[in-house]
Structure 1
Amino acid sequence: MTRRHQQITEALRHAIADGRYPVGGALPSESELAALYDVSRGTVRHAIGTLLDAGLIGSRQGARHVVMSTAPSQSFSELRSFAQWARAGGHVPGGLVLDSARGAADGEEAALLRLAPGDPVLRVRRLRTLDGDPVLLERTVYAGWVADAVERLPADCESVTTALRDSTGLVFAHGEHHLDAVAAGTVDAKELGVRRGSPLLRVRRTTTSGEGRPVETSDDRYRPGAVVFTVRNSTRANPLARTTAD
């Protein structure tokens, strides 16, 4: 049975998505929401916390929560797989391998994975969905030492990260991400259901194990409006660095 706070979270999520609570506008107070849904303020706070974690609303001291976005948000404050992030935000993730092939690492792949050029790698192209809609096209290159384990996974594996941890004990512990925008090519447009040339958010990431051994490097392209990434920093800690485009 769905818990009451989850029902309230979904009701508020739909209200934000259909414009009843527009971006920049404030949600009703906790007291008003508690009365509206006939629940305690503690239940409302639980629902509000889920929306905060998803990046849909913001919080200010002494003020009502403000709607920040209609798209779910993924934070860089912790390393989570696409499926783990989606489930935490109340969404249904999906995945399907479009093609997979072994090959030899080129110079860039070898440098990122700390291999010698020509060493074996596994290249996988995977389409990710969120609540049934295509949102992400991944082009992932795995180091050869993990290729067998990746190939044994089903084509519709929901979370490669979780499946590899459960089957081999491999933990994806560290990640480096580079964000930019690119125009959708023919393949991107077809798989993501957008027009060729549409702007896509690209995240180039390299992930390593707890021992610092590179596992994968990937070029991930998100459909416009599908996901918002959040970076929270301060004068004391700044995880975000600016670089010029390659």
Structure 2
Amino acid sequence: MTRSPIWKSISTALAAEIAQGRYHPGDRLPTEAELAARFGVNRHTVRHALSALVEQGTLRTRRGAGVFVAARPTDYALGRRVRFHQNVAASGRTPSRRVTLRATRSADPREAAALHLAEGAAVHVIEGVSLIDDQPVAVFRSVFDALRFPALLDHMAEQNSVTAALAACGLTDYTRAETRLTAKAAPATLALTLQIAEGAPLLRSVAVNVDAAGIPVEYGTTWFAGDRVTLTIHPDDKG
């Protein structure tokens, strides 16, 4: 009887332990040296076993940090009303958001055109990281008309929620007018923030949200880690 290669047996054993819940999404596996000692093999054999699981999407590597169990992708619906916390909570996961920038500056030509503003008009910019179960899944930038929402950044500092901050400014509802999706490779800065490999797949979403009168209120760009979310589109969503 032909025996399976040792590395394959190790790969199968680790996959079974992950399936049984010994390791959970986001958990770091023992080091190569620790696994080599456990299975009585050299580190090259362990590395081969881990590489096979990485290729299958079961594991992911983080440079300088180790090998981690890959989180299962979260369904993320892109409908007329896209609310991060509601979307994630509906999938049974825990959403959170870390704001890294709140600033006012002049709009660049693309932002001004999207928001129907004069080029160079003042805009509020909010940037940050969206997390699911404490794992970063997306980096976002949202741009708003500073003249229409003068106190937006103050409310955002208090609420840490774009929807709540806009409501405090008098805008109780807004909907998605358009979304453009483009596949990208992760540059070094985004890779570091999302804790993925440089060059890993990203899905960039560029969207415009409007008020009830159809006037643009938000120009948003989001870079999703390609293996952590499954974007679903419901064009007939009534919100």
2:124 aligned to 122, 125, 130, which one?
122
Range with greater deviation from structure 2 (121-130 or 74-83): 74-83
Equivalent in the alignment of 2:52:
none
Query: CA 1:156–1:193 in 2, change beyond 3 Å: closer, same or farther?
Result: farther
Give the aligned partner of residue 203 of structure 1.
205
Report the counterpart of residue 71 of structure 1 in structure 2.
Answer: 73
TM-score (norm 2): 0.63
Among 170, 173, 179, the alignment partner of 1:171 is 173
Task: Report the CA distance between 1:224 and its aligned residue.
Answer: 2.4
Q: Name which one, 1 or 2, has greater alpha-carbon Rg.
A: 2
Q: After the TM superposition, which residues 89-108 of structure 1 pair with which residues of structure 2 at under 5 Å, given as runs?
A: 89-108=91-110
Aligned equivalents of 1:83 and 1:158: distance in 2?
Answer: 12
Contact 1:96 1:157 (C-alpha < 8 Å) held by counterparts:
no
- For the residues of structure 2 that align with 1:232 and 1:115, how far apart are their CA atoms? 29
Identity of aligned residues (%): 28
Once residues 135 and 202 of structure 2 are traced to their aligned partners in structure 1, the CA distance between those partners, rounded to angstroms, is 16
- Per-residue CA deviations over 1:2-47 (Å, capped at 9, x if unaligned) read xxxxxxxxxxxxxxxx658xxxxxxxxxxxxxxxxxxxxxxxxxxx
Aligned-residue offset at 1:81: 0.9
Tell me which of 160, 163, 170 is aligned to 1:161. 163
Distance verdict in 2 for CA 1:171–1:232, change over 3 Å: closer
Structure 1 contact 121–147 (Cα < 8 Å) conserved = no
Distance 2:82 2:132 in 1: 15
Letter in 2 for 1:104: S
CA distance in 2, matches of 1:102, 1:90: 35
The answer on whether the counterparts of 1:138 and 1:220 sit within 8 Å (CA) in structure 2 is yes
CA RMSD of superposed structures (Å): 2.5
Alignment length, in residue pairs? 169
Deviation at 1:80, TM superposition (A): 2.4
Compared with structure 1, are the counterparts of its residues 101 and 159 closer, same or farther at alpha carbon in structure 2 (3 Å cutoff)? closer
* In 2, Cα distance between equivalents of 1:142 and 1:169: 12
Give the Å deviation of 1:223.
Answer: 1.2
> Partner of 1:145: helix, strand, or coil?
coil
Question: Do the aligned partners of residues 155 and 226 (structure 1) sit closer, same or farther apart at CA in structure 2, a change above 3 Å counting?
Answer: farther
Distance (Å, rounded) in 2 between the aligned partners of 1:158 and 1:102: 17
- 1:137–1:222: 8 Å Cα contact kept in structure 2? yes
1:194 equivalent in structure 2: 196
Distance (whole Å) between structure 2 residues aligned to residue 144 and residue 189 of structure 1:
30
The aligned counterpart of 1:85 is 87
Q: Unaligned 5+ residue runs, structure 1?
A: 1-17, 21-69, 238-246
Question: CA separation in 1, counterparts of 2:156 and 2:111?
Answer: 25
8 A contact 1:91–1:131 mirrored in 2: yes
Normalised by the length of structure 1, the TM-score is 0.61
Shift of 1:147: 4.4
Distance 2:218 2:131 in 1: 21
Aligned to 1:184: 186
- The equivalent of 1:67 in structure 2 is none
Cα displacement string for residues 78-122 of structure 1 (whole angstroms, at most 9, x for unaligned residues): 412111111222221111111222111121111100001011111
Range with greater deviation from structure 2 (156-165 or 224-233): 156-165
Q: Report the AA paired with residue 74 of structure 1.
A: Y
Per-residue displacement from partner, 1:116-164 (whole Å, max 9, x unpaired)?
1011111221111111111110022111135433312355855321442
Preserved CA contact (<8 Å) 1:96 1:156: no
Partner-residue secondary structure (3-state), 1:207: strand
